[in-house]
Amino acid sequence: MMTTPALSLENVRFAYGPDGAPMMFDTAIPAGSLSAVMGPSGSGKSTFFALIAGFEQPQAGRIHINGEDVTTSAPSERPISYVFQENNLFSHLDVMTNVGLGIDPRRRLSGDDRGRVSQALERVGLSGFEMRLPASLSGGERQRVALARALVRKRPMLLLDEPFAALGPRLRDDMLALVKALHEEAGLTTLMITHQPSDARAIADRVVFIDRGSIAANAPTDNLFDGTDLPAWNDYLGLNPTR
Amino acid sequence: MLATSERRGAIAAGAGALVFIGLVVLVAVWGLLRTSMGMTADGGGFDAYIWRITRFTLVQALLSTALSIGFALPVARALARRPHFLGRNWLLRLFAVPLGLPAIVAALGLIGIWGRQGFVNDALGSAGLDAPISIYGLPGILLAHVFFNMPLAARLILAELERTPAEYWRTAAQLGLPSGRVFRIIEWPAIVRVLPGVAGLVFMLCATSFTLVLLLGGGPGATTIEVAIYQSLRFDFDPGRAVLLALLQIGLTATILLALSILPRAEEGPTAGAIVRRFDASGRVGTAVDTLFIGFGAAFVVSPLVAVAISGLAADLGRLAGESSVRDAALTSLSVAFMAASLSLCLATAAIYARHAADRRNGSRWHNAFRTTLGATTSLILLVPPVVLGAGWFVFLRGKVDVFAAAPVVVVGINALMALPFVMRVLEPAHRSHAMRTDHLSAQLGLTGLNRLRRIDVPALIRPVSMAAAFAMALSLGDLGAVALFGNQDFVTLPYLLLQRMGSYRTDDAAGLALLIGVVCLLLMMLGTRSMPSGGSGTV
């Protein structure tokens, strides 16, 4: 039994240009959940995210976040923070400024703001990194800065677009633990695109499986990993015996 | 991975090309130096005239650069902010046209729009304003340089803006950065990265521009070093002064090239991939301003082209085509262009194979030095511009042989060297990726020498080769630099004929010829810049 879902897509249709493959998303995500979004390359995971974030406009259908219709809202008006796989930081701005843009994109930072940025940096394990430039950070540290910016923005929904795909196993585990902790502390609704079943098993309570431009499954993690008769899912995991 | 004998052959051919180019340039420079040695200090010294010419050369180049970039910046930004409007691709192609348009054709088009009887002055006159714009002198030179360089600068700046990672625009949209901050945080840093390189390139082109200054400038008040060299040789019969000016020009280009080699290079290249929507550009005021700049830029570039077409079509083309002088000039131009392109391709092929053969991971210092020297030699024409090279050969040949009888040979040589840097830029990357794909396989199968050339290299590289050839021919067909010095009644190319007709005020003939040259050159250039088969050639 679901309460008001944090996110719902009702018959959202989209295609890239007149010749693009048609996609259709119709699903709901419960508030406070942490969902792993999985699916083969080109299945539409990133498009799914782009539609939620407002980077792309649906050709039909409605998108609601926390009960509010955001279908035509500008990206910055939606209650969302977004972390990309790379290039989250403007390379010539220091860490303080990059995170500070999440507090107020228009004006300079006040002393108060700087305090908040430092706190957020401390929370992600980067105390003292305020003056550093992105080029002097490791890939994992850059993603931590992006998470710090998401923290100061205080938006209730967090979208992570393959955020740790470029990191090694150890670093990846640390980052997943951090995401899980932040998710719980701030009471977020989190969606994370990933290709690693281990990521989903480690932190996600739900899995959204996208196949050929539509939602093929949206269920608790355990249900999917305990064995299903969904051929596409089994094929994706490499579990199909007929090969 | 070449067999040893193949490698030796390639390196020998490259050495041959090196010696050939070196000789062509060194003979010219030696001619200049020897003549200057014979001069007395007071006879052709560094007098007020030369100082004035130098100052004008630098001032006009500086102003042209500033105006071109000042105009290109808002146009490029507007184009970057509007990645999806109808006709955008055509506009970008239009912005590539000046690159392929012979200067003499463009000059006629600009006179048609901005000249005394031009469209703009007519419009001003009928609006009751009686202050005609004069295109001759500094304003005309600046106008022409902006016509050629604004689109170039705009394309280079746009390419850099489009290399911005897509995530930047999306992050800006996510955070709700207003357009002023987007400019400061994303656009300006990108622009600043390429600005020095673009400015240096434009300055170089303007400081060595010959045809435009010859046609639109002239007079003691608006003459650059290159035009002064031409005047000294063809009108004042003062080789001493020409020599001094030529050496001065080499010094100037050497300085600029040195500065350019330090600056980051601006290039068109692969963009960041999918161009995303620009959320910061959706405001109504921003849209209006962008539309204004794009419209103004397009009108500025397209109007002289239209003028060339209209006045050219109004000319009596049938009679022109029947004139034997026109037919002879066309034949001469085509032969010169064909030979120059062939020579350029031969030199480039030798240089490319030799550079490839000398490129070994365990290469000796000698190999590396050879590679670098050979690469630099193919661009020697940038250091010694065509008119200077011509002047050198002019004074070298004078007294030995009939200078004008040698004209065809010298012009072919100079045109070939002019095209060489472009030919290399088209062919060398194509050959490099081809070699990377096929070297090991060919070696494995024992495909070597001519057998390999015929069966592997030629079929794979025929497209870039024909592109380079078309490019080289277009460059030669439209060139007025070398032929201005050496042209005579027995050696008339189409641009030279056009210059003669302009000089005798046969405006209709000139317009018809300009249309002919313009169309042929643009067709060749379009062939020469069609997107590369190996992909990643940006927006051409």
What single letter denotes the amino acid at residue B293?
Answer: F
Asked if A55 reaches chain B (Cβ–Cβ under 8 Å), the answer is yes
CA distance A186 to A177: 14
Is residue B537's pLDDT more than 50? no
Residues linked to residue A27 through DSSP beta bridges, in sequence order: A9
Of B165, B178, B276, which is closest to A105 when you measure between CB atoms? B178
Burial environment of residue A197 by CB neighbours within 10 A (0 to 12, 13 to 18, 19 or more): middle
Judge: B174–A82 Cβ closer than 8 Å, yes or no. Answer: yes
Instruction: Report the residue of chain B nearest A57, measured CA to CA.
Output: B277
B250 and B301, same domain (yes or no): yes
Is residue B531's pLDDT more than 60? no
Asked if A77 reaches chain B (Cβ–Cβ under 8 Å), the answer is yes
Judge: A53–B175 Cβ closer than 8 Å, yes or no. Answer: no
Of A55, A86, A101, which is closest to B173 when you measure between CB atoms? A55
Specify the CATH number for the domain of residue A72. Answer: 3.40.50.300
The predicted pLDDT at position A52 comes to 95
CA distance B54 to B233: 18
Q: Which of residues 405-464 of B touch A (CB under 8 A)?
A: none
Q: Is-contact B65 B202, C-beta < 8 A?
A: yes
Number of domains in chain B: 2
- Most B CBs within 10 A among A73, A88, A103, hence the mutation to make, goes to A88
CA distance B158 to B69: 12
Asked if A20 reaches chain B (Cβ–Cβ under 8 Å), the answer is no
Q: Collect all residues of chain A within an 8 Å Cβ-Cβ radius of residue B176.
A: 74-77, 105
B280 and B337, same domain (yes or no): no
- Tokens matching residue B537: 């050639």
Query: Digits of tens for pLDDT over chain A (243 positions)?
Result: 446 789 999 999 999 888 888 999 999 999 999 999 999 998 999 999 999 999 889 999 999 999 999 999 989 889 999 999 888 999 889 999 999 999 988 878 899 999 999 999 999 999 999 999 999 999 999 999 999 999 999 999 999 999 998 888 888 999 999 999 999 999 999 999 999 999 999 999 999 999 999 999 999 999 998 888 889 999 999 886 654
Residue (of B71, B75, B77) closest to B187 by Cα position: B77
Specify the CATH number for the domain of residue B67. Answer: 1.10.3720.10
Q: Confirm whether A52 is domain-assigned.
A: no
B510 and B421, same domain (yes or no): yes
The string of DSSP letters for B182-206 reads HIIIIIHHHHHHHHHHHHHHHHHHH
Residues linked to residue A159 through DSSP beta bridges, in sequence order: A82, A191
CA distance B100 to B166: 32
Judge: A106–B178 Cβ closer than 8 Å, yes or no. Answer: yes
Q: Collect all residues of chain A within an 8 Å Cβ-Cβ radius of residue B182.
A: none
Of B165, B176, B189, which is closest to A76 when you measure between CB atoms? B176
CA distance B408 to B402: 12
B263 and B391, same domain (yes or no): no
Residue (of B193, B309, B228) closest to A91 by Cα position: B193
Of A80, A86, A93, which is closest to B185 when you measure between CB atoms? A93
- Tokens matching residue A28: 């709901």
pLDDT digits (tens, 9 = 90+) for B23-68: 999 999 998 888 877 665 555 556 788 889 999 999 999 999 999 9
Residue (of A66, A88, A86, A89) closest to A77 by Cα position: A66
CA distance B194 to chain A (A): 15
DSSP B455: I
B234 and B117, same domain (yes or no): yes
Q: Collect all residues of chain B within an 8 Å Cβ-Cβ radius of residue A77.
A: 176
Q: Confirm whether A48 is domain-assigned.
A: no
B436 and B535, same domain (yes or no): yes
What single letter denotes the amino acid at residue B219?
Answer: G
Phi, psi of B430 (to 5 degrees): -60, -45
B81 and B224, same domain (yes or no): yes
Q: Is-contact A213 A24, C-beta < 8 A?
A: yes
CA distance A94 to chain B (A): 12
Judge: A84–B189 Cβ closer than 8 Å, yes or no. Answer: no
> Rg for chain B (alpha carbons), in Å?
24
Virtual torsion, Cα B311, B312, B314, B317, nearest 10 deg:
160
Pick the last residue of a domain from B291, B314, B337: B314
B306 and B176, same domain (yes or no): yes
Phi, psi of A65 (to 5 degrees): -125, 125
B337 and B308, same domain (yes or no): no
Burial environment of residue A115 by CB neighbours within 10 A (0 to 12, 13 to 18, 19 or more): exposed
Global pTM value: 0.86
pLDDT digits (tens, 9 = 90+) for B312-334: 999 888 899 889 999 999 999 99
Instruction: Report the residue of chain A nearest B171, measured CA to CA.
Output: A88
Number of domains in chain A: 1
Q: Confirm whether A243 is domain-assigned.
A: no
B156 and B257, same domain (yes or no): yes
User: How are strands ordered across the β-sheet holding A189-193?
Assistant: A68-69, A60-65, A5-14, A23-30, A214-220, A206-211, A34-38, A189-193, A157-161, A80-83
Range of the domain at A68: 5-42+57-207+216-237
Residue (of B438, B524, B433, B533) closest to B478 by Cα position: B524
Range of the domain at B215: 48-314
B245 and B321, same domain (yes or no): no
B296 and B374, same domain (yes or no): no
